[in-house]
Amino acid sequence: MTTSSPSATTEATIRLRAVDKTFQMGQIAVEALRDVSLDVYRGELLAMVGPSGSGKSTILNIVGGLDTVTAGEVWFHERSLAQFSSAELTRYRRDTVGFVFQFYNLVPNLTARENVMVSTEISCNPMPVEEALRLVGLEDRMDHFPAQLSGGEQQRVAIARALAKNPELLLCDEVTGALDFATGKRVLRWLVDLKNELGTTVIIITHNAALARAADRIIRLRSGQVVETKVNDEPMPPEEIVW
Amino acid sequence: MRVLDRKLLRQLRSSWGLILAITSIIAVGVTCFGTMASCYWNLTEAMSRYYAQCRMADFSIELKKVPLAELRQVAELPGVSEIRPRIQFLATVDLDGVAKPLNGQVLSLPDRREPVINDIVLKRGSYFTDRRENEVIVNEAFALRHKLHPGQWIHLLLNNRRQELFIVGTAISSEFVYLLGPGAIVPDAEHFGIFYLKQSYAEDVFDFDGAANQVLGLLAPEVRETPKLVLDRAERLLAPYGVFTTTPRCDQPSNKFLTMEIKGLRSFAVIMPTIFLGVAAVVLNVLLSRLAEQQRTVVGTLKALGYTDGQIFGHFLKFGLVVGLLGGLVGCIGGYWTAGGMTALYRQFYEFPELTNRLYPSVILGGFAISLLCAVLGSLRGARAVLRLKPAEAMRPKPPRIGRKTVLERIGWFWNRLTSDWRMVLRSTMRNRMRTATGIFAGAMGACLLSSTFMMVLGLSYLIDFQFHTIIRSDVDLTLGDERGEEALLEAARLPGVDRAEPQLNVAGTFSNGPHRKKGAITGLARGATLTVPRNLEGRPTGIPPDGLAMTRQLAETLHLRRGDWVTFQPTKGLRQPFRAPVLEISDSYLGMAVYTDIHFLSRLVHEELAINRIQLSTDEDPKHLAALYRDLKQLPVLQGVDCRTDMIRNLETTLVQNTYASLLPMIVFAGILFFGAILNSSLISLAERQREMATLRVLGYGPWKLGSLLLRESMITTLLGAILGMPLGYGLTVLVAVMYASDLFRFPVVSNSMVWIATALLAVLYGLTAHLFVQRAVHKMDWLEALQAKE
């Protein structure tokens, strides 16, 4: 098992070491991650695959500063995320991370343009809102509300919202999970282009192993543990992927 | 505009119904505050201006007769800055075109205009002239009521002689802002007037040359708040001249009623808004908690995007602040407008040169401050709960509620008998503790206001019935200028239309029991008297002790006396020697603090033969006889006053009772807003939260009416529970009001009957049903198919 990626640098942007995460769901404790260690390299497209409940989303949330670990260490460059104060985590999320959610998480009573503005108004180096929406092909739908957009269009707004921040890290949680086949492939193409053109580090998590073929590196998870890490020497173009 | 603010505006628009409900409650609270506070300042400022303008006396001393030369020692007392001697007498008034003799008080004024203590403000005509001695200035209210104007002649019975007087002007005075005749508790401009005579004329007609029977005075600022010492010394100095009463300004009847009203406004400016804003804060808390919960995912997303807790908290807080601002704005406008109406109402009772409604910046600021405070307090809890979550946790669905059995479920025999509908209703009620508690609290406050208002209306009617149908049963009461013997009683009994005449002897003086002292009077009644019957609270006659006193409970408590104790009484007439008498009965009364005894016993105590200075008459209803009676009474020179019970009752009914009824409708509306707002808020939130559950029931075959009935039952449970809890609170509020307004002259009865509680409960149910109409409409309009598919 190699740990380097052909398109990425050898510099690890994110490092997880012996990470545990336990959730309290009402009266029940759920152990979501157990002794997870992995690296994420700058400029790579990393896919984390595994069945439901394998811990993929949990890792993404921890990397994105949305959640904290129960035990272990998480490093962003040379800084430990576990030592971040609440204000520092907020700044990390604001300035470094772009998050794309499975169910888009758009604000229902804001238009597409305004949903992107939610992100750009607090960013220190945002992209113009119109440019972000143009990048995802929604220049004609900027003033529509989410209820007036298809699932794919809503996902594109969510991507534009994440992109508009010019993030160093783009985290995508089951980004094609709620989309039809064709739209899913289009979204995957944008993510690959983004990585190639802007050098953004992209992490996608999916239970669909076929999608992982577009990634530079694949980490497989099961029951809260890393079972395999594989370098994809020849990432497949999204257009050729079938699922 | 920042995008989160746009989101806020759209959120407000989509929740307009709920916003309206809560804003209404806040608006009513702020309206109450604005009304009471504005009226407080309107009256306070008008009073201050008026008192300064008229040089309102700090004290008055009423005495038998004092040579003016002897008053110098009073003027020189430390603490006394100025005095003014005055002649004052009661009189009967004979007006052309008015069958009954009317009552009046005659006061002397300097022949020439000069600033005096208790000065007048001329309204029409002029001050006295040199053209004639027998000029009179009439108080404006009496003049208006009887269409008197300068240039007319009137007749007064002065010092047993019928005198003709020429009206030169009409006036008002700060000492009669609330003009009360002897023994009255509400102004009666139709039957009682003030008549100002020239000093020289008054001296002549009353044989008071170089003398006075009243001393008005101003005190130095340092003793104004604590005048007792100075007044005691003045009373001792004037004791040889027969001091009847010494009255500091705080006890002056007009001032007392006015300051009591002002104090009451200040209290109600706190009590009423607290009730409404308390409910609004709690209801807003429920709404905002629901909103924050509903937007849990949005909150998580905003946090994921990098918004700080402070920014998100501020966003939710703005929701509450907008509601607070809207409510404050409507409330401040409403408060100003209502204060105008209430001030106009006050002008009917309180006579000022100028009483207008003004806009007070402090009241406006206060109104906004309390509405915003309410909004902030209501928003805090709701916004805080979701903010505490980490972003990932916020975006996860809320963990299922802990599914323990509720208390009712543990009562097997009861629970097993319930249908599934009732089980859903009761579980929902008991598991949503905050929402249920809010509904109960709002219902309790609404029921408190309703039941208290009903009790006040009932109390006033009861007071009139108790005082004027069970205690006082005479038709006409005659007050004589001097004590007379039995012949006066016989003469009165022979008057046309008189069925029965009973004598009374009123002796004023001071009661004392150790360190406890109180000025008052003893009324001697004939054995077997039927026209004044002292009673206890149950309405049973207490009897007139032949050799002791029947004392009103209020006075007994003031003097720390119980039945069987002895009290010392220092009369102000006769030999003025103190005597001791046992308190053999305790009676009850809502007006005054009367003390009764046998008339012969009292006469002996004041070293007199049988003395009569008041006669009560029972008359027949034949109008011809009554007309003849009044005609004869007008001619009787010995009369100082004539009071008709029916006039007193009518006056009370047209003033106090009608105004209380007028306040009933606004209270019913305000209480309705409380009930309505809380029920609507709770039910719509419940419906929104349980859309999927409701949709599932639709699939199973529940119709919209059946679905609505689930929500109706939940709201009725909280409404009725609230109403039940609110009723004792209403009782307590009525007691509080009664205590606040209790005085020597007047006490408010706290009475209730089953109709109060039934009416409160019925209105609560009516409000609940009315609110439910809107909820039912929402159930009918619900797109249950979409609800089944939608992810919140």
Model pLDDT for residues B308-341, shown as the tens digit of each residue: 988 888 888 898 899 999 999 999 999 999 999 9
**Does B304 contact A at CB distance below 8 Å?**
yes
Both structure tokens of A217? 């590196």
> How many whole angstroms separate alpha carbon B768 and alpha carbon B422?
18
Whether pLDDT at B303 is above 80: yes
| Helix, strand or coil, per DSSP, at residue A26 | coil
Q: Give residue B789's pLDDT band: very low, low, confident or very high (50, 70, 90).
A: low
pLDDT tens for B262-289 read 998 998 899 889 989 998 888 888 888 8
The residue-averaged pLDDT of B52-65 equals: 95
More confident residue, B515 or B792: B515
How confident is the model over A66-92, as a mean pLDDT? 89
Interior/surface letters B644-677, b for 16+ CB within 10 angstroms, e for the rest: bbebbbebbeebbbeebeeeeebbbebbbbbbbb
- Distance between start and end Cα atoms, chain B: 27
Asked if the C-beta of B751 comes within 8 angstroms of chain A's C-beta atoms, the answer is: no
Residue A2 has pLDDT above 60, yes or no: no
Segment B680-702 mean pLDDT? 81
Q: Which of A1-10, B143-152, B169-178, B376-385 has the lowest mean pLDDT?
A: A1-10
Answer whether 0.95 is exceeded by the pTM. Answer: no
Mutation target to probe the A interface, by most A beta carbons within 10 A, among B8, B16, B301 is B301
Segment A166-187 shows an average pLDDT of 85
Average pLDDT (B200-227) is 94
Q: Which of A61, A165, A166 to mutate to test the interface with B (most CBs of B within 10 A)?
A: A61
The reported pLDDT for the residue numbered B791 is 47
pLDDT for position B505: 93
Counting DSSP H helices and E strands in chain B, the numbers are 24, 20
pLDDT above 60: residue A8: no
B304-313 pLDDT, tens digit each? 999 998 888 8
Tell me what the mean pLDDT of segment B645-653 comes to. Answer: 87
φ/ψ bin of A44: left (φ > 0), alpha (ψ from -120 to 50), beta (otherwise): beta
Range B378-384 average pLDDT: 81
Using a 10 angstrom Cβ sphere, with 0-12 exposed, 13-18 middle and 19 or more buried, the burial of residue A147 is exposed
Q: What is the pLDDT of residues B503-558, one digit of tens each?
A: 999 998 899 999 999 988 999 999 889 999 999 888 899 989 899 999 999 999 99
Confidence (pLDDT) at B581: 93
- Inter-chain CB proximity B308 and A87 less than 8 Å: yes
Q: What is the mean pLDDT of residues B420-434?
A: 86
Higher pLDDT, B125 or B186: B125
CB-based contacts of A127: which residues, under 8 Å, 6+ apart?
Answer: A120, A163, A164, A165, A166
Q: Do A94 and B305 touch (CB under 8 A)?
A: yes
- Mapping DSSP to helix (H, G, I), strand (E, B) and coil, where does residue B150 land? coil
Mean predicted lDDT score pLDDT of chain B: 90
> Is the per-residue pLDDT at A30 higher than 70?
yes
Q: Look up residue A127 and give its DSSP letter.
A: P
CA distance A196 to chain B (A): 24
Distance CA B302, CA B312 (A): 8
Among B84-98, B232-246, B569-583, B761-775, which is the least confidently predicted range? B569-583
Residue B613: C-alpha distances to residues B327, B489, B525, B768 (Å): 60, 10, 11, 60
Judge contact between A97 and A48, C-beta under 8 A.
no
Integer Cα distance of B690 and B194 in angstroms:
71
What are the chain B neighbours of A109 within 8 Å (beta carbons)? 7, 10-11, 14
Question: Å from B386 to nearest chain A CA?
Answer: 14
Closest by CA position to A158, among listed A219, A220, A102, A231: A102
- Chain A environment of B308 (Cβ under 8 Å): 87, 90
Higher pLDDT: B212 or B689? It is: B212
Percentage of residues in chain B having pLDDT higher than 90: 56
Task: Identify residue B123 by its one-letter amino acid code.
Answer: K
d(CA B226, CA A190): 88
Give the type of residue at A128: P
Establish if B151 touches chain A: CB-CB under 8 angstroms.
no
Q: Which of B369, B360, B372 is nearest to B335 (CA)?
A: B360
Strands of the sheet containing A12-25, edge to edge, are A28-41, A12-25, A71-76, A79-80
**Pairing mode of beta strands A12-25, A71-76:** antiparallel
Tokens standing for B531?
Answer: 């026209």
Greater pLDDT, B141 or B398: B141
The predicted pLDDT at position B400 comes to: 60
Section B692-719 average pLDDT: 86
Q: Do A61 and B301 touch (CB under 8 A)?
A: no
b/e per residue, A57-83, with b = 16+ CB within 10 A? bbbbbbbbbbbebeebebbbeeeebee
Q: Cβ–Cβ of B301/A105 closer than 8 Å? A: yes
Per-residue pLDDT band for B792 (boundaries 50, 70, 90) equals: very low
- Reduced to 3 states, what is the DSSP secondary structure of residue B123? strand
Residues in a beta bridge with A134: none
- For residue A32, which of A44, A24, A40 has the smallest C-alpha distance? A24
Which pLDDT value is given to residue A5? 43
Pairing of β B211-219 and β B153-158? unpaired
What are the pLDDT digits (tens) for A113-133?
999 998 898 888 888 999 999
A105·B400 Cβ contact <8 A: no
Query: At residue A1, does pLDDT exceed 60?
Result: no
Nearest C-alpha in A relative to B6 = A110
Give B600-651 as a 3 state SS string. Answer: HHHHHHCCCCCCEEEEEEEECCCHHHHHHHHHHHHHCCCEEEEEEHHHHHHH
Percent of the residues in chain B that have a pLDDT greater than 70, as a whole number: 98
CA end-to-end span of chain A: 26
Alpha carbons B697 and B157: distance in angstroms, whole number: 86
Residue B7 near chain A (CB below 8 Å): yes
Judged against a pLDDT cut of 60, whether residue B35 lies above it is answered with yes
Cα(B119)–Cα(A74) distance, integer angstroms: 88
Q: How many CA atoms lie within 13 A of B667 on its CB side?
A: 22
Least confident of B322-336, B631-645, B757-771: B631-645
Residue B349 CA to residue B369 CA, distance in Å, equals 32
- B786 by Cβ neighbours in 10 Å (0-12 / 13-18 / 19+) ranks as exposed
Secondary structure element (H or E) that encloses residue A36, with its range: strand A28-41
Minimal Cα–Cα distance from A22 to chain B, Å?
Answer: 12
Interface test with B, best of A28, A89, A109 (most B CBs within 10 A): A109
Q: What is the DSSP string of A83-113?
A: G--HHHHHHHHHHTEEEE-TT----TTS-HH
d(C-alpha A214, C-alpha A46), whole Å: 9
Tens-place pLDDT, residues A34-67: 999 999 999 999 999 998 889 998 999 999 988 8
Tell me what pLDDT residue B403 has. 60
Looking at the predicted structure, is the pLDDT value of residue B134 above 80? yes
Residues 6+ apart with CB under 8 A from B300: A66, A105, B389, B391, B392, B393, B394, B395
pLDDT band at B404 (very low <50, low <70, confident <90, very high): low
Which of A199-203, B100-104, B684-688 is predicted with the least confidence, judged by mean pLDDT? B684-688
- pLDDT band of residue A9 (cuts 50, 70, 90) is low
Q: Are B652 and B747 in contact (CB under 8 A)?
A: no
Measured in residues, chain B has a length of 792
The rounded distance, in Å, linking the Cα atoms of B316 and B583 is: 68
Give the DSSP per-residue string, A155-217: HHHHHHHHHTT--SEEEEESTTTTS-HHHHHHHHHHHHHHHHHH--EEEEEES-GGGGGGSSE
**Category of B747 on φ-ψ map: left (φ > 0), alpha (ψ -120 to 50) or beta:** beta
Residues of chain A found within 8 Å of residue B390, distances taken between Cβ atoms: 66-68
* Residue with more model confidence, B692 or B475: B475
Q: Do B7 and A114 touch (CB under 8 A)?
A: yes
